[in-house]
Amino acid sequence: MPVYPVNVKWGKVRFDNVQVNTDEPPLVFKAQIFALSGVEPERQKVMFKGKVLKDDEDWTNFKLREGVTVMLMGTVGELPKPPEEKTVFAEDLTDAELATTLDMPTGLINLGNTCYMNATIQCLKNVPELCDHLKQYSGQVFAEADPQHILTAALRELFNTMNRSKEACHPLLFLQVLHQVFPQFAEKNEQGMLQQQDANECWIEVVRTLQQKLALGSSSGNAGAGAANSNIIDHTKCIEAPDEPEKCSAEKFYQLPCYISADVKYMQTGIQQRLQETITKNSITLGRNAEYVKSSLINRLPGYLCVQFIRFYFKEKGAINAKILKDVKFSLDLDVFDLCTPELQQKLIPMRNKFKEFEDKNIEKEKVIVKKFYTVIFYLKDTGSNNSGYYELSAVLTHQGRSSNSGHYVAWTKKKEGMFFNIIDILTLGLNVTMIKSQSLQTKIY
């Protein structure tokens, strides 16, 4: 048998019945001796019949048998010194200390079914260009007559409060203004409690307000920046009447819908189903409803692209807004080049070529660690647009639950490379709104 006991003699000390397994490397045997004597393996000199046991060899030249005694030479190393400063564990930190240590975003306190609003605010807070615009905004909460100006000022004050403190904040003022400007979010149930609302509706209303009041389309990029100027071009052709002229129309968009069906496993597929679909509408040529092929392409990309996962639908049985719980995968990067019109693709190609040159240089250099720094770079005559078609994930807003009238909304925002902070609650699988930041190249390598 390869396993048998031996004795180890170390000066005046003797360790009996130390198990040796000759199928394992000698270093394992030395580790056992270290556990008994405290002599580290690199300090050990194990001898038997004039031969020394070496770490990088097998047992061929060091033949042992049951009950033999081997000699150990070596001294115990210096014990490690205790740290000068007392070790502080994460479990011992307060919420504020933990947030400061990990550079976590400031939390928002739920004021009773206001998680939809809190999650929306956290995603918007992750857009630096929007934060910069709000800092420059001079409107006052109580001095403005325009409700949308009041909402913009209230968001600025909330961001300022979140910047000053790591403690969770009460967004009471912003909630009151939100209810004033958009009364639909102030609905209450029979018990007088605020009802749960849809985060996507809140997102759209707030972004539209910011778009109008901050003139975001004419300056640096932001969440929805220039979205009012971004169009989806629809081409509709009748299948049953080939001679009927094709119709072309433009539709402005603030976000791209991702439809979820049985065959949708990835976000790209869900988006393409909206841009390539068959619809039924009245045909003037045939005088009846007929099938049409609707093909859509984007003619301008906003600096920040929002993708809405269409998970809620009205379920007649029970008369509720039910939720599609199917898992849909998405990557941290998104390329929408194939979703653009040929004219826009030609505009995107120069910057995309720079990206390719950048990647090729990295491959040639064969560096182990290469950091890429991205900045939002727009066309000189079209500020607030994306000039490459590449996006990187910046924030995710998720929903937990089966109904839009219940459940819980959670925000995830990106703070470090490959790291997303869960700001409000636990991770959920139901994705509702995905915000993706535009990605452009700055040729610096560190």
Show which residues are catalytic.
Answer: 115, 408
CA dihedral sign, ordered 440, 128, 208, 437: positive
18: left (phi over 0), alpha (psi -120 to 50) or beta: beta
| Beta carbons of 438 and 301 less than 8 angstroms apart | yes
Exposure string over 123-135, b if 16+ CB within 10 A, otherwise e: bbbbbebbbebbe
| Beta carbons of 8 and 48 less than 8 angstroms apart | no
Helix 115-125 with 172-181: angle, nearest 10 deg: 100
Structural tokens at position 420: 């997303």
H or E stretch covering 340: none
In terms of Cα–Cα distance, which of 209, 236, 233 is closest to 223?
209
H or E stretch covering 262: none
CA–CA gap between residue 341 and residue 348 (Å, rounded)? 11
| Beta carbons of 415 and 103 less than 8 angstroms apart | yes
CA–CA gap between residue 182 and residue 180 (Å, rounded)? 6
Helices (H), 165-198: 172-181
Structural tokens at position 161: 């409060």
CA–CA gap between residue 251 and residue 357 (Å, rounded)? 35
Structural tokens at position 190: 């029979």
| Beta carbons of 158 and 121 less than 8 angstroms apart | yes
CA dihedral sign, ordered 369, 370, 373, 374: negative
